[in-house]
Structure 1
Amino acid sequence: MSILHTVEDKTCTSTWLRAAELLASQDDATLYNVILGIASPDKVTPEDFELHEVLNAFLVSKDQYPLSSIAGTIFPAGHYLHGGAKAVFDEFPALYPKMKESWGTYAHRMLDRTVIADERNSSMLEILVEKLKKQKKKGRMRAAYEMDLLNGEVEMDVALYQPAADCDRTLGQPCLTHLSFKLHPDDRLSLTALYRSHFYVQKTLGNLLGLSQLMCFIAEQVGLTIGPLVCHSTLAQLEHGGNTGWKLQDVQSLLKNCRQACSSPVLMV
């Protein structure tokens, strides 16, 4: 039996579908250490949009959040679209207390100004963007920036697990625990995301879309191009039964419809 299960494709959507089909082929629809490799996370094809409609229809029919809501837990794309970077860094954290649910969103953890840097409160995302700007502008010398270099790449890490808030939780813990960004010598930005547990029906595709939006935001702020996205699901589940409201047969039918959406010609209006 393989220890690692790797799935690689071009877009977030096509990679998710291949991984979900892999899970569906397992006796319990579960695998440990599923690693997704997405070559062009910023690309969305017409076929991808067709699949999104199929999956969204299923999720909404089961009283689950649509893809856009799941993506929004990682990056507030709506704020960025309507108000630019200022809305992301300033308006979203200010409005967040009115929107907060459960333990909170990953976007809030990244954008909450709780880190003391240069004698002022900053967010993890602000610090990350500034580090990348300095690296891109002035070079990537170890002595100048006191950052580890590995094979010509600069490591930028964001830890999303908060011990004080999360250590006593058994249920309801955040599933996304760590983001590791890399600045490549050719000014591409890549990202590796670590999930302790991943629900492939309800969450994973929306998560991937949110991570891609986060990458695009950072790249635009710094002046970089988009590199690959790697997502490591230490436990991947094609969830069904229990309190989900659907059976494995429903998920298998959903995946069949998703595959058909990707394979069918897209009508251009």
Structure 2
Amino acid sequence: MAKLIASESLGQAWVAAARHLAGCKQRKDRNLILEISAPQKLGKDDLKIIKAVDAALRSRREDLSVETVAGTIFPNGLARRFSRPELYTNYLALLAKGKKRSSWGTYAQRMMSRPSRNGTGTINPLDDLIERLLQTHNGTKYQSAFELGVSDPDIDLAPPLDGHGYELPVFDPSRDAKPLNVPCLSHLSFKITNGKLDLTAIYRSQWYCQRALGNLIGLSQLHSFVGKESKYECGVLTCIATHAYLDTETFGKVGVTKDLLAALPG
């Protein structure tokens, strides 16, 4: 059965989900759903949670932090300095200089740059999605046609599909054929609900100690950017992990992780 955790803030949602996983067999569960009503609102308890998890990550690996995980989804630092289209240009240029060979890149890169159908250029699915959302202010009534998923945007997205589907891909079958190279974030779906912009993210797999909190922060930042650029107030952020795992080895031991979770607010 699916497990639903509803919370106002992303920090509190992460703590509740991690504690739930701590009580599951092998610390694993399927279809763990977080529904966060105010994902951009970070209170004192959220900041305390983020600081504690970040310290636990950095104590084990110098190259891993909550911020670096969030940055794979959205480059929020650059977004504070640049709007469209300068954000895309600057981010892709920096990534081209710093990306490691043989790495599949970041989710943000896949949202901003995909090969065109004829292979001679690129398209920007994220910008296309924002432009579609902007059209809804001028009489276009689509509410659930703004997706980031598994399709080929240059082939499948030309028509609006009668309001029922708009895909912005994360998974790329031409690059992700090897099982170990499949990205964990599978799909992003934006919806207009009562005048607000909701975001639903679906993960095929999510490690809660190493990645989940950074994922939630990155998603909230992407959500905020799309809302700002498309002139919508942000609504609910929903995150669905079809396979969720409390990877206590990331923090060192089971006991260390349980002590950390017990000490956090919520």
Shared fold by TM > 0.5?
Answer: yes
Q: CA deviation at 1:25?
A: 1.0
* SS of structure 2 residue aligned to 1:232: strand
* SS of structure 2 residue aligned to 1:205: helix
**Is 2:263 the counterpart of 1:257?**
yes
Q: Distance in 1 between matches of 2:54 and 2:257?
A: 13
- State the TM-score, normalized to the length of structure 1: 0.85
- For structure 2, the 5+ residue unaligned runs are 144-158
Q: CA deviation at 1:98?
A: 1.6
* SS of structure 1 residue aligned to 2:227: helix
Aligned counterpart for 2:247 among listed residues 228, 239, 248: 239
Q: CA deviation at 1:67?
A: 1.0
Q: CA deviation at 1:141?
A: 6.3
The letter for the 1-side match of 2:260 is L
Moved over 4 A (4+): none
Does the 8 Å contact 1:75/1:213 carry over to 2?
Answer: yes
CA shift in 2, pair 1:245/1:217, >3 Å: closer
Q: Which residue number corresponds to residue 124 of structure 2? A: 123
Does the 8 Å contact 2:113/2:122 carry over to 1?
Answer: no
Q: CA deviation at 1:120?
A: 7.6
Residues matched between the structures, number: 247
Q: Which residue number corresponds to residue 166 of structure 1? A: 176
CA shift in 2, pair 1:61/1:146, >3 Å: closer
Which aligned pairs between 1:58-73 and structure 2 lie closer than 5 A?
A: 58-63=56-61, 65-73=64-72
Q: CA deviation at 1:203?
A: 0.3
- State the TM-score, normalized to the length of structure 2: 0.86
- Percent identity for Structure 1 against Structure 2: 32
Q: Which residue number corresponds to residue 20 of structure 1? A: 18
- For structure 1, the 5+ residue unaligned runs are 263-269
Aligned counterpart for 1:38 among listed residues 36, 39, 63: 36
Aligned counterpart for 2:254 among listed residues 245, 248, 251: 248
Q: CA deviation at 1:160?
A: 0.7
Q: CA deviation at 1:82?
A: 2.0
**Is 2:111 the counterpart of 1:110?**
yes
* SS of structure 2 residue aligned to 1:189: strand
Q: Distance in 2 between matches of 1:120 and 1:97?
A: 16
Superposed CA offset, 1:186-229 (max 9, x none):
32111111101000001001001101100100111111011111
Q: Which residue number corresponds to residue 188 of structure 2? A: 179
